[in-house]
Structure 1
Amino acid sequence: MRDCCGSHRWARRMALHRPYPDLDALLAAADEAAYDLTPGDLSEALACEAATPLPHRGGLAAHTALSAAQAAYENKFGNVFVIALKGDDPASLLNQVLTGIRARLANDEDEERVVTADELRRITRARLARLVAERSNAQSTAELHR
């Protein structure tokens, strides 16, 4: 669970309420646990996050602008910038990250903590869904080889 969200409290809560009958129940529990994160829990989870990976496309100017924006964000808020990205086009992803950082740099600390918590919740949901899909695929493959 800690691979999905770096908060010990979140992971413990998720483990205590298992088993989950289906993906929807798992995601609902994850959301509920995420909404209950304290500022300290959120800081702990963010400390486990890496900076949003940069797509390889987009040119030097875009990467330079993004690196500068990430540094400004980390300097202002004291943690890495997290954003739940949509799609898989590298140019679009780069634009989403850069646009998101620039917009969120205007937030005050309290407002940004709320936005960051919601983005982390979305990222956690995506990681859980991916984990369940990977386990289902592995199980299906194992059953085929019996």
Structure 2
Amino acid sequence: MEHFNAASEEDLEQALLSCLRSRRWAGRVADHRPYPDLDSLLAAADEAAYDLGWSDLTEALAAEPLPTLPPDSYSAAHTALNAAHAAYEARFGHVFVICLDGLSPSETLDRLLAAIRSRLTNDPEEERAVVADELRRLASGRLVSALRAAGNCANNHSAPAPGR
């Protein structure tokens, strides 16, 4: 946590924006430094994410990559996933996001397709709430991953290693 707390504003902003591409979220998380421990940082990150409006979430969504399948998936799976992504984007006007932390690669295809199909039945307001929750989960997992990569105290955190 020392490295996170002592990082320059510019370095910290870049690190936080790599977790969630929302300037408002990154600013709120950065403004509350120093954090005594990882759990405090994650709680502050969640709180900052809960306060984001739809325009902030849209900013974050614009930078989100589509969830992908493991490289050894068969071509029909890629075709099905591409079609599902297209249907989702046509309905809601933004990319489909889902946090797949802790999911084995063999479960990825089924989980992605089931989630897209299920969420296509949501009304736009309902889907906005789901999207906000998924972005919060992605940001939290990426934050833990970034701290682990930097060799910080996140190595002792009980959360599973993030994976998309």
Alignment TM-score > 0.5, same fold: yes
Identical columns (%): 57
1:125 paired residue among 116, 140, 148 = 140
User: Pairwise mapping of residues 21-40 of structure 1 onto structure 2 (< 5 A)?
Assistant: 21-40=36-55
- Distance (Å, rounded) in 2 between the aligned partners of 1:30 and 1:43: 18
- Distance (Å, rounded) in 1 between the aligned partners of 2:101 and 2:110: 11
Cα gap change, 1:15/1:86 in structure 2, threshold over 3 Å: closer, same or farther?
closer
Question: How much does 1:92 deviate?
Answer: 0.6
Q: Deviations over 1:75-111 (max 9, x none)?
A: 1111111001143532211211111101000001000
Match of 2:160 in 1: none
- Distance (Å, rounded) in 1 between the aligned partners of 2:43 and 2:140: 9
- Distance (Å, rounded) in 1 between the aligned partners of 2:72 and 2:85: 17
- Distance (Å, rounded) in 1 between the aligned partners of 2:125 and 2:53: 13
Q: How big is the alpha-carbon RMSD for the aligned residues of Structure 1 and Structure 2?
A: 1.5
Tell me the number of residue pairs that the alignment of Structure 1 and Structure 2 aligns. Answer: 138
Q: Give the gaps of 5 or more residues in structure 2.
A: 1-15, 153-164
AA aligned opposite 1:132: L
Match of 1:64 in 2: 79
- Distance (Å, rounded) in 2 between the aligned partners of 1:54 and 1:79: 19
Match of 1:100 in 2: 115
Moved more, 122-131 or 60-69: 60-69
Match of 1:4 in 2: 19
- Distance (Å, rounded) in 2 between the aligned partners of 1:90 and 1:136: 26
Match of 1:142 in 2: none
Q: Deviations over 1:10-66 (max 9, x none)?
A: 011111111211110010000000000001000001011111122223312221111
- Distance (Å, rounded) in 1 between the aligned partners of 2:103 and 2:132: 23
Are the aligned partners of 1:57 and 1:91 in contact in 2 as well (CA < 8 Å)? Answer: no
| TM-score with structure 2 setting the length | 0.80
- Distance (Å, rounded) in 2 between the aligned partners of 1:49 and 1:41: 13
- Distance (Å, rounded) in 2 between the aligned partners of 1:51 and 1:69: 11
1:113 paired residue among 108, 128, 133 = 128
